[in-house]
A and B are shown apart, each in its own frame.
With several copies, the nearest count.
Chain A
Amino acid sequence: MTEVDTVRLDLPATHKYLNVVGACIGELLERVEGLHEPTVLTYNIQLAVHEICANIVDHAYGEKSPAGRIGITFTLQPVTRTMHVDLHDTGAAFDAERYQEPDLDAAQVRGYGLFLVKELMDDVLYETEANGNHWRLTKQL
C-alpha cells in the first residue's frame, strides 16, 4: 500500500451476483499487509457491504426496477490505512427519518441490516445525489 488504489465494480442489482462483491473485498484485503485479525475484519467488511447491497436490491429498487445496477468503488488509502467503499444506485431514496434501530431484546424478523453496517464499520454516510443514492462506508484497517 504505497499509492491510493481504487477498484470499481458495477453489477446488476440482484441478490444473485452479490457473491462477487464479497469475493472482491476478500481479494483486495489479501493484498493489505499487517491487518489485525484479518479473517474477522474481512468478514465484517464483506457483511456490511453485502447488507448495503441487499438493501439496494430490496428497498431502493424493490420489485419495480429489475434492471437497476449497483456501482461500487473500493478505495485503499495507504497513509491513513483506511478502506472506503462507495456504493451508488439509481433507485428510491432511503428515508433516514423513518429508520428505527432494532430492539435486540425482542427477537424480530427484519431490521438487522443497517444495525450491522453501523456496528461493523467505523463510519456510514448516506446522501442523495443528482443521479441517485450514495452510501459511503469507511473502515480503519
Chain B
Amino acid sequence: MDITVDEHIIRIVTVAPHGRIDAFNAATLRGRLDELLNEGVNRFVLDLSDVPFLDSAGMAVLISLLKRARQSGGDVKLVWPAEEAARRILRLTKFDRVFAMSETADMALNSF
C-alpha cells in the first residue's frame, strides 16, 4: 500500500501596530508591510486591537495591503480595535465588509 503524505505549510504573518496609525506614521507601517510582501508573504492578520486612532491615511495602508495580498492569491484579516469609536469608523466606511474581521488574532489565524 502506497500512502502519500504531503505537508503544506501556510505562512501567515500577524502584524500588530501599537499606537495611533495616522498620516504621520502610516509610511512606517506601509514600509514594514512592503518588506513582508516583497519576501513573498501574502497572508496577513492585521491586529488593530491596540490601535486607538486610525485615520484615512492608515486606512489607505490597509486597503493597499489587501489589494497586493489578494493579487498574489493571499488575503488580509483584521482584528477589531478595542476602541469603540474606531470600530464604528470601520463600519461606517464598510471596511468590515471588505475585510474579514475577528475579535482576536487567534480567531483571525484560524479563519485562514
Contact = CB atoms under 8 A, between A and B. Distances in A.
B36 interface: no
Contacts, number: 65
Interface in B33-54: 53
A51 B22 CA distance: 10
B67 interface: yes
A58 B23 contact: yes
Contacts of A15: 22-24
Interface of B, helix, strand, loop or mixed by DSSP: helix
Contacts of B93: 104, 112, 115-116
B59 interface: yes
Nearest to A40: B85
Interface in A35-52: 39-40, 42-44, 46-47, 50-51
A43 B83 contact: yes
Please tell me the size bucket of the interface on A.
20 to 34
A115 to B, nearest CB: 7
B107 interface: no
B98 A39 contact: no
A39 B85 CA distance: 7
A18 B93 CA distance: 22
A15 B20 CA distance: 13
Given A43-B53, A107-B67, A57 B23 contact: yes
Interface in B85-112: 85-86, 88-89, 92-94, 97-98
A108 B23 contact: no
B87 to A, nearest CB: 10
Contacts of A50: 22-23, 55
A51 B84 CA distance: 19
The 8 closest A-B pairs by CB, nearest first: A43-B85, A15-B24, A112-B56, A15-B23, A104-B94, A107-B98, A113-B56, A40-B85
13 contacts: A19-B22, A43-B83, A43-B86, A54-B22, A54-B57, A104-B94, A108-B63, A109-B63, A112-B56, A112-B59, A113-B56, A116-B89, A119-B92
